[in-house]
Amino acid sequence: MARNFKQAALYEVINRTRFRDAQHKALERIGVVKEPLKQEPELPQVLSQAKVEPVKTDIAAKSTRPETVWTARPKPVRIYPDRIELCLTWQVAGIGLLALVSIFLVFFRLGQISSKKAVDEKNVSPTKAAVENIKPQPVKIETAPRTAVEPAPPKMIEPMGDNIIVITSYDLSSHLEPVKQYFAQYGIATEIIKRGSRYLLVTQDRFDNVEKAGSDGNIMKKKITSVGANYKPPVGSGFESFGTKPFQDVYGMKVK
């Protein structure tokens, strides 16, 4: 329905009346207007004279709710009742993916280091123990009682022969040192000499004949076999024991 512009609308009449009242009061304060304001037609009369028409204004149509501003760029994270959506740019997604891969690689490398360290600790312990077992331990030689065997006095007046008694031989001279000390307890002086690639434990004394019964060399040979049968290497040293009944095959060797 088109509006009749010859008739005033209701809100225009009301606003005009309020404006004139306010203007008259302001003039009365400053003493400009002393006469009473001409009364406007009462509101019921105005309502009867004015034809009220519905006026659609933009203000009435506007909602009291705050206006939502829509932008072209969506939010990075959007939460819905049944899902969560992520909206990221290619640059942000690429950087996030690289960061995730880097973190994964760091944790993977740390796991490798920790597992390798555990394996090394597990393998080092037996090896270290084995190395310590291989190392020659200090030999503890128990000193025999003085009353057990008295060393035979050297025979200075008898001429020395050109034969020595070979007690045993071995590839390493360190395994012959305990044997040397063992025979020294029983008055048998020995020394270690090298012949080719092997080391020989021989007597320091020389004899004319080793195989002749009753000779000094033969007596010494029997003494060596008797004493040597009880030889035991130091406990835990790892040295050669030379059999269950060692030094039973001693023999004489001629030297220059």
pLDDT profile of the chain (256 residues), mean per 10: 59 77 77 55 51 47 52 71 79 87 91 81 57 55 53 53 91 92 93 92 91 90 92 88 89 86
Distance between start and end Cα atoms, the chain: 153
pLDDT, residue 151, reads 57
pLDDT, residue 15, reads 76
Q: Which of these, 171, 160, 143, lies nearest to 220 by C-alpha position?
A: 160
pLDDT, residue 166, reads 93
Asked if 167 and 201 count as a contact pair (C-beta separation under 8 A), the reply is yes
The predicted model scores a pTM of: 0.39
Interatomic CA distance for residues 129 and 127, integer angstroms: 5
CA distances from 52 to 10, 12, 40, 66 (A): 6, 11, 18, 31
Beta bridge pairs of residue 201: 168, 192
Look up the CATH superfamily of 163-254.
Sporulation related repeat (3.30.70.1070)
pLDDT, residue 49, reads 52
pLDDT, residue 96, reads 86
